[in-house]
Amino acid sequence: MSYCLITLKKFGEFIREEIDSKDLLNASFRIKVEDKYLIIPIDRELTRDELSVLSKIDSAIKQSFRNDLQPSKSLPKSHFDVLQPLFSEKEMEFIPRSFDTIGDIIVIEIPEELVDKKEIIGNALLTAHTSIKTVYAKAGKVEGINRIRPVEYLVGEKKTKTIYKEHGVRLAVDITQAYFSPRLSEEHSRIANKTKVNEIIVDLFCGIGPFAIPIAKKVDSQIHAIDINPGAIALLQESISLNKLLGTIISYCGDCRKVVDEQNLEHIADRVIMNLPGYAIDFVDVACKTLKKEGGIIHFFEFVGGENPEKTIVEDISREIAKNDRKIDSVLEVRKVRMSAPRQWQMVADVLVI
Ligand SMILES: C[S@@+](CC[C@H](N)C(=O)[O-])C[C@H]1O[C@@H](n2cnc3c(N)ncnc32)[C@H](O)[C@@H]1O
């Protein structure tokens, strides 16, 4: 018996990858085909919010509880099951529960206590997740102007490049060449869903395009996508050709301040995306410059700690906007995106600027 999702076959692969990336696939049972539907077993009942994320891929998706599913060929359920007979009880306590799945690559943080067993953990991940080809360990913090995290190869195929799928789009990712985080997946689709037909969007720090591609996939719009890292722009170009897009993406490699000046991107944007937490505050003047004179929306991302991060992020962006002779007409939404460190959040504030 298992909870399961009932989805149209044509969306099945996207739904399966989405739930596998959240580690919710119930590998104890086989996926079943019924007419034009796939019945995908899942580990637990999904929340209404989780279902609503999936309904963006298949609007008719349903959840159900079934007792007619075939058990799979005794695949281990998780890396925990594989490691249980090999590790002591104390060691088992240190095994990380979560990791990033990017296409067929896993990136995991190995705790200090288990460094000498990192390959064994990598192999357990390969055994438990049959779609995974390669496992890397985090080897430091996201760093430098390009915001790339150093990684250490652990096991599997020696490759750093993969195709990551989310919300019906394909993104070319190379974990050593440009920043990418699957943990922002909900944010990518949230902003795409807010964008309207014919909008002009400037993404000041576009990376490999996880905001630009979903927007262009969803609406006929024009996106000016800027990044200082040539590796990120090359991957964005690749993703443009991997997807059927309604909108147009124009990409630029360079410092966004220079690009906005040199490419005459002043006062064109209905919407500006600023996902460079920690540094975006220094580019609010560039965002104000590129927004239409009559106004537009800024999606401002920042790392914020303290008692009231919602209040702090709005105060920070308001102060900077005021320095540019503009003001916030209204705060449309403020939300916590993810925990970025103990007692620190990556926050986003959507503000309408006039
Ligand atoms: C945190 S990453 C976010 C990338 C992308 N928006 C995403 O969500 O995956 C920030 C990006 O800003 C780029 N960057 C840093 N400084 C920049 C600048 N002055 N002008 C343009 N891009 C810059 C980095 O290369 C990096 O790809």
- pLDDT tens, position by position, 129-185: 999 999 999 999 999 999 999 999 999 999 999 999 999 999 999 999 999 999 999
Ligand 1 pocket residue status of 146, Cβ below 6 Å: yes
Cα–Cα nearest to 174, from 204, 151, 200: 151
Instruction: Specify which residues 303 forms β-bridges with.
Output: 346
Is 253 within 8 Å of 230 (Cβ atoms)?
A: yes
For the chain, the domains span 2-66, 79-159, 180-353
**How far is the centre of ligand 1, averaged over its atoms, from the C-alpha of 248 (Å)?**
20
Q: How many CB atoms lie within 10 A of CB 44?
A: 10
Q: Which of 228, 257, 271 to mutate to test the pocket of ligand 1 (most atoms within 8 A of CB)?
A: 228
Atom of ligand 1 nearest to the CA of 206: 6
pLDDT, averaged across the chain: 94
Is 2:66 a contact under the CB 8 Å cutoff? yes
State percent of the chain over pLDDT 70. 99
Q: Strands, DSSP E only, in the chain?
A: 2-8, 32-34, 37-42, 62-66, 100-102, 105-108, 134-138, 151-156, 161-166, 169-174, 200-203, 222-227, 248-253, 271-274, 296-305, 328-341, 344-353
**Using 50, 70 and 90 to split pLDDT, how confident is the model at 312?**
very high
In DSSP terms, 353 is beta-bridged to 296, 328
Q: Could you say which of 3.40.50.10420, 3.40.50.150, 3.30.70.2740, 3.40.50.300 is the CATH number of the domain covering 180-353? A: 3.40.50.150
Q: What is 79-159's CATH superfamily?
A: Met-10+ protein-like domains (3.30.300.110)
- Assess if CATH 3.40.50.920 describes domain 2-66: no
- pTM, two decimals, is 0.81
Q: 270: closest CA among 253, 252, 247?
A: 247
